[in-house]
Amino acid sequence: MPNKSGVLEQNAPNANFVMEGKSLYNRRAKPVDVVLKLLINGAAFLCVVVLVGILGYILVNGLGYVSWKFLSTPYSETKANLKGILPMIINTMYIVVITLLIAAPIGICSAIYLTQYAKQGRLVKAIRFTTEILSGIPSILFGLFGYTVFCILFRLQISILAGCLTMTLCILPTIVRTTEESLISVPSSYKEGAFALGAGKLRVILGIVLPCAMPGVLTAVILAMGRIVGESAALLFTSGLAYQMPKGFFQQIFSSGRTLTLHLYQTAREATTPDAMNIAFATASVLLILVFLLNRLAGLLSKTLQKGTE
Amino acid sequence: MATNMATKISIQNLDLFYNDFQALHGISLEIPENQITAFIGPSGCGKSTCLKTLNRMNDMITGCRIEGKVSIDGEDIYDPRTDVNLLRRRAGMVFQKPNPFPMSVYDNIAYGPRVHGVKSKSQLDQIVEKSLRSAALWDEVKDRLKKSALGLSGGQQQRLCIARALAVDPDILLMDEPTSALDPISTQKIEDLLDELRGQYTVIIVTHNMQQAARISDRTAFFLLGEVVEFTETKLMFEQPKDERTERYITGRFG
Amino acid sequence: MDRTMDGQEGREREKRRNAAYRWIAAGLGAVMILSFFLPYITFVFRGLTYTVSGIQLAFVKGFWVVGPQQSGLVTIPLAVRASIVLGLLCAVGGFVLILLKKPVTAGLLFLLSGISPLLVMAASGAIQTAVTSLNVSQIELQFLWPFFCTLLGGLISSVLALRTQGTERLAESVFQVFACVSIGSVILLTVYIISAGLPAILQIGLTQFLLGESWRPASDIFGILPMILSSIVGTIGAIVLGVPVGILTAVFLSETASPRLAMLVRPAVELLAGIPSVIYGFFGMLVVVPVIRNMFPEHTIGDSLLAVILILAIMILPTIVSVTETSLRAVPAAYREASLALGATQTETIFKVTLPAAKSGILAGVILGVGRAIGETMAVIMVAGNVANMPTLLGTVRLLTTGIAMEMSYASGLHREALFAIGLVLFVFIMIVNLLFNYISKKGVQIHAE
């Protein structure tokens, strides 16, 4: 038997390799381990330092300049007493609200169709694939597309509406995918229960499935809000850089208006005096706080979502 | 069989807690060298837990705490001076489900020696062949050493895991229900292999299967609700159990 | 029971209601057909107005524009004619089918007909360009009420037609239409980017465009090799710096950190992901660039490829960390146990077993990071210096993305088309990256499924 010979070899006194003594009482760290552990901790430390560095640098320089006056005054490049960011805040709100008004229904309805109606065949797979691909496309390409299609082809000019339509394309894939995931995670027993009571499909979807998936859908919407607030490249050519105060509620939709991000971009690039730099810092601080509040909100929501499914 | 009765592992008054729950109550066992010792008992009785204290795999479970003393060759393995890695090298472990690494057969065996500082290719080749031969797997895999170990059958994978454990020169082999995930033929092969290893390694095998314990072990410990009810020579335990609970268990009246 | 009593009566009522819907939809269809024969668009041109109906727009050849230097026939674009004919045919088809009680197809046709004004609107932009190119004066297009009749009538009549099939059917169709909008926009975007980018590439010549070393729009020289190389080198640099840090941080989070420390580091990484790219650019401009300038005062003004690399490395960190952490957590605990049981230390286990087992997931994360780095625009534009030089570590560079962003606002003619072509090149890069990502993440799934 072949394994017999193996055993015979094993019986020989020569062990596989030399052990340094038999005693277990020989505790010491391997140098390579120590170095690698240091590197691991160092990397994590570095991440925290980078974050604290960026946050600290911007907030320390900017928060002092943020005041109610700063938030509530219009902006002018020439007049020294008009250096507020009110128009940018309004424009940002316009873009966030209108974009969500367009994108959320389309995205949610698409997700409902894909998960509840469409036959789970090749088509749905293809759709999923394309949305995945789309979510990787850089925003500058969306900007390019939005500029030529919405601003020029559809004659919207450089306007907030054109910016909103462009942002709709940007965030649609994310909304569709996140909503899809939360719709799929609704236990099918809920649906079956409702069907068993004789409810129609639409009623089951609107009354049972969608409410159950609501925290997930809301998280998607809030993440999208964060994305819109932080977006700049897609809006540079579509919603433009104008900073006038709105002349009318609807008129503003069709005129150009810069968001907070673009305001930061523009003031930072053109700043020559320390005062101008302060405006940039303060804008950056406001932007950071806004984005973090949104992220926090999304985090809280997804936590309640997890609790719900447990 | 009982000629060599030197104690290899000594467990004294071992209590083990998972947070507030006490899983082991005052276990005391003297496990003899170079014999096969079986731990049997109904599931949840603490036999696997007890096995894991012997190479301190329980260290990884948060909230796990032990009291009492476990020593190998007279050295307390829970002593602060103890090198856990050296301990685990000397007490190899084979798990319930075969768990080869997602690497080639060769690299699976060579993993341990490499970790412990063997670099020379020829020496590694030698160790791989020897370990595979010891695990009665060499003839089956010698032509596919460079292929992924995940392509082997379940039984082959388990013998590979045994070979992998043997490659680092352990003197103890801890086996946690090594055949429970295998078919009868593979189980038979593992049992044959254990028979070959008898006398060279101190083997402790946890098993659900009483016939298996009866077939291969020299001594058997019967665990119940975190306690050792009886620990004696296998033959004695199965022919004339001292404790009534042991008798009821091995005759299949509860399980 | 109420239900059975009401059943007969309810069905009767529903029948009557559906008939009413059908007739209203048919009426709207008739209005839509009519609207193509009514004044549709007014061209306002040098203070004069020309009003044409939809059907005229479809069949007249074009109109003569007499300018000071040039005169010419401005033809009506084929797309405009096609849209109008399509709209009219769909309206007629819908009208006939609804009378034949085929509401589903009719609804679809009405919807298509309702979209046709939008297509006309989009396609008629070419008329404006053509007139403007004759250097006469601006031409204004005004769309009249029948135009909007078609739009609204199409939407309402399609909803009514489908409503006759019951709420369920209507709802499904509505969801379906929205799904089509999402998918359609994706397809449109792709088609558009390709079709807008190709002409310039064909005109300039593929090799000249891709391998040309200088970019001088004023003299019609369009070579983007410096931008391509800068983008690639910048991305590689960011990967070289960011990936090790990212992977090690992920190891920290999933393997070595105590829960409390992980609770500190994980939010930090998540916050990094949330910072808008303009702020990264701002930080880079004020901190990274001056530091580089002060370190090598003779060699650089600070804005440089190095600054780009540093900023991008920070920006891809969160992606790498989160994807790697997820794939590390997916590695079966049995591998770790087996390694530890052989006497390997925790670090040896991580680097020799856990990380190799998670390698396809980590690779997917890296590729995702590549995609993010190559597409980043606003952060980079603020630190790159934006001169189209061949990439050197301390020299100013222009990347594909910043190339577009810098000049889009004033470019025209071939210059603008060349910018679209840059967009196409960027798109191709991203597609390759995405397909790779898809391929690798699928492969990863298969391995874990085994």
SS (H, E, C) C31-96: HHHHHCCCEEEEEEECCEEEEEEHHHHHHCCEEEEECCCCEEEEECCHHHHHHHHHHHHHHHHHHH
- pLDDT score for A4: 36
- Report yes or no: C398 and C383 within 8 Å, Cβ to Cβ: no
CA atoms within 13 A on the CB side of A176: 34
Chain C residue closest in CA terms to A176: C182
Nearest to C341 among B93, B101, B116 (CB): B93
Which pLDDT value is given to residue C450?
40
Same domain for C267 and C126, yes or no, is no
Q: Locate C186 and state its tokens.
A: 């994706």
> Region C265-293: what's the mean pLDDT?
93
pLDDT recorded at residue C59: 81
Which chain C residues are Cβ-neighbours of B152 within 8 angstroms? none
Rounded to an integer, what distance in angstroms lies between the CA atom of residue B97 and that of residue B86?
24
The four Cα atoms A239, A242, A247, A250 give a dihedral, to 10 degrees, of 0
Percentage of the residues of chain C whose pLDDT score is greater than 70: 93
Q: Which residue has the tokens 């579509």?
A: A238
- Tell me what the pLDDT averaged over chain C comes to: 86
Domain A64-309 of CATH type 1.10.443.10: no
Residues in chain A with CB shorter than 8 Å from the CB of C167 are 200, 202
Region label for C50, one of left (φ > 0), alpha (ψ between -120 and 50) or beta (otherwise): beta
The pLDDT confidence band at residue C444, using thresholds 50, 70 and 90, is: low
Q: What is the C-alpha end-to-end distance of chain A, expressed in Å?
A: 56
d(CA B156, CA A4): 18
Q: Examine the domain organization and report whether C274 and C420 are in the same domain.
A: yes
B171 pLDDT above the threshold of 80? yes
Task: Give pLDDT tens digits for C375-431.
Answer: 999 999 999 988 888 998 899 999 999 999 988 888 888 898 999 999 999 999 998
Nearest beta carbon to residue A27 from set B83, B130, B138: B83
Closest CA in chain A for residue B137: A3
- Partner C, chain A 140-169, Cβ-Cβ below 8 Å: 140-145, 147-149, 152-155, 169
Give all strands (DSSP E) within B75-136, no chain letters: 75-76, 91-94
What is the ipTM, given to two decimal places?
A: 0.90
Residues of chain A with pLDDT under 50: 1-14, 310
pLDDT on residue A22? 67
CA dihedral B231, B237, B242, B245 (to 10 degrees): 80
Partner chains of A (3+ C-beta pairs under 8 Å): B, C
CA nearest to C189, candidates A168, A104, A99? A168
Q: What is the DSSP letter of C252?
A: I
Q: Contact at 8 Å (CB) between B42 and B254?
A: yes
Per residue in C114-153, pLDDT tens? 888 888 877 777 777 777 666 656 677 777 888 888 888 8
A300 touches chain C (CB under 8 A): no
B95 with C338: Cβ contact below 8 A: yes
User: Contact partners of C by the rule of 3+ C-beta pairs under 8 A?
Assistant: A, B
Instruction: Give the percent of chain B with pLDDT over 90.
Output: 60
Task: Kindly report the nearest CA distance between residue A27 and chain B, in angstroms.
Answer: 4
Kindly report the pTM of this predicted structure: 0.85
Residue at a domain's end among C165, C196, C223? C165
Give pairs for C63-71: CB < 8 Å, separation 24+: C65/C131, C65/C134, C65/C136, C66/C136, C67/C134, C67/C135, C67/C136, C68/C135, C68/C136, C69/C135, C70/C134, C70/C135, C71/C134
What single letter denotes the amino acid at residue A289?
Answer: I
Confirm if C117 and C151 have CB atoms less than 8 A apart.
Answer: yes
What residues pair up with B64 in beta bridges, in sequence order? Answer: B18
Classify residue A17 as left (phi > 0), alpha (psi -120 to 50) or beta. beta
Q: CA-to-CA distance for C223 and C218, rounded, in angstroms?
A: 13
Domain contains C209: no
Assess whether C276 and C420 both reside in one domain.
Answer: yes
Residue C146: C-alpha distances to residues A155, C89, C143 (Å):
19, 16, 8
Nearest CA to A239 out of A310, A131, A133, A167 is that of A167
- Please enumerate, as own/partner, the contacts of A19-22 that have beta carbons within 8 Å and a separation of 24 or more: A19/B169, A22/B73
| Contact residues, chain B, for C357 at CB < 8 Å | 101-102
Q: Do A36 and C347 contact (CB within 8 A), yes or no?
A: yes
> By the 8 A CB rule, do A214 and A301 touch?
no
User: With an 8 Å Cβ cutoff, is C125 touching chain B?
Assistant: no
Q: Would the CA dihedral through C269, C275, C276, C277 be positive or negative?
A: negative
pLDDT band (50, 70, 90) for residue B122: very high
Which residues in chain A have Cβ-Cβ distances shorter than 8 Å to C192? 145, 148-149
pLDDT above 70 (res C340): yes
Q: Which residues contact A103 (CB under 8 A, 6 or more apart)?
A: A167, A168, A171, A172, A175, A224
Question: Domain limits of chain A?
Answer: 64-309
Which residue is it, tokens 């388990």? B158
The size of the B-C interface in CB pairs under 8 A is 67
Q: What is the pLDDT of residue C448?
A: 46
Average pLDDT, chain B: 89
Quick one: which H or E segment has residue B222?
strand B219-224
Nearest CA in chain A to C404: A140
Binned at pLDDT 50, 70 and 90, residue C2 comes out as very low
The confidence score (pLDDT) of residue C134 equals 67
Residue type, A293: L
Rounded CA gap, C450 and C448, in Å?
A: 5
Q: How far apart are CA B143 and CA A121, in angstroms?
A: 43
* Count of the separate structural domains present in chain C: 2
Asked if residue C441 has pLDDT above 60, the reply is yes
Nearest-by-Cβ selection for C252 from A41, A230, A291: A41
Range of the domain at C76: 2-165
Same domain, C160 and C220: no
For residue C193, tell me if it sits in a domain: no
C334 vs B97, B103, B115: nearest CB? B97
**C427 vs A141: CB contact, 8 Å cut-off?**
yes
User: Are B149 and B103 in contact, with CB atoms under 8 Å apart?
Assistant: yes
- In this structure, is residue C185 part of a structural domain? no
Q: Which token pair is B62?
A: 């948060």
pLDDT of residue A5: 36
Structure confidence at residue C1 (pLDDT): 41
Dist. CA C155–CA C149, nearest whole Å: 10
Q: Are residues C14 and C158 in the same domain?
A: yes
- Would you state the structure tokens that stand for residue A176, as one six-digit string? 């569709």
Q: Which domains, ranges and CATH numbers included, belong to chain B?
A: 7-250 (3.40.50.300)
d(CA A225, CA A206): 24
| pLDDT score recorded for residue A126 | 76
Task: Report the chain C residue with the minimal C-alpha distance to residue A126.
Answer: C183
Return the bridge partners of B40, or none. B222
CATH number of the domain bearing residue C273: 1.10.3720.10
Cβ contacts (< 8 Å) between B82 and chain A: which residues? 24-25, 27
Chain C interface includes B101 (CB < 8 A): yes
At C173-218, the pLDDT tens digits run 888 888 888 888 878 888 888 888 899 999 999 999 999 888 998 8
Question: Which residues in chain A are contacts of B189 at CB distance < 8 A?
Answer: none
Determine, for residues C268 and A51 on separate chains, whether the beta-carbon distance falls below 8 Å: yes
Q: In angstroms, rounded to a whole number, what is the distance separating the alpha carbons of residues C364 and C325? A: 12
CATH number for C76? 1.20.140
Name all chains with 3 or more CB-CB pairs below 8 Å to chain B: A, C
* Residue C405 included in any domain: yes
Q: Do C329 and C252 belong to one domain?
A: yes
Can you tell me the mean pLDDT for C366-383?
A: 93
Q: Tell me how crowded residue C35 is: count the other CB atoms within 10 A of its CB.
A: 26
Q: Is the pLDDT of residue C230 over 90?
A: yes
Let me know if residue C340 belongs to a domain: yes
Which of C278, C340, C433 has the highest number of chain A CBs within 10 A, making it the mutation to test binding with A?
C278
Asked if residues B208 and B177 have their Cβ atoms less than 8 Å apart, the reply is yes
Say if C179 falls within a structural domain: no
Query: Tokens 């609207």 correspond to what residue?
Result: C35
- CB of A110 within 8 Å of a chain C CB? The answer is yes
Radius of gyration of chain C, Cα coordinates, nearest whole angstrom? 30
- Mutation target vs A (from C182, C322, C419; most A CBs, 10 A cutoff): C182
| Dist. CA C306–CA C294, nearest whole Å | 13
Residue C7, pLDDT score: 67
Cα dihedral A11, A15, A16, A19, rounded to 10, equals 150
Name which of B54-63, B195-204, C158-167 the model is least confident about.
Answer: C158-167
Cβ <8 Å between B133 and A3: yes
Would C288 be classed as within a structural domain? yes
pLDDT score recorded for residue A21: 61
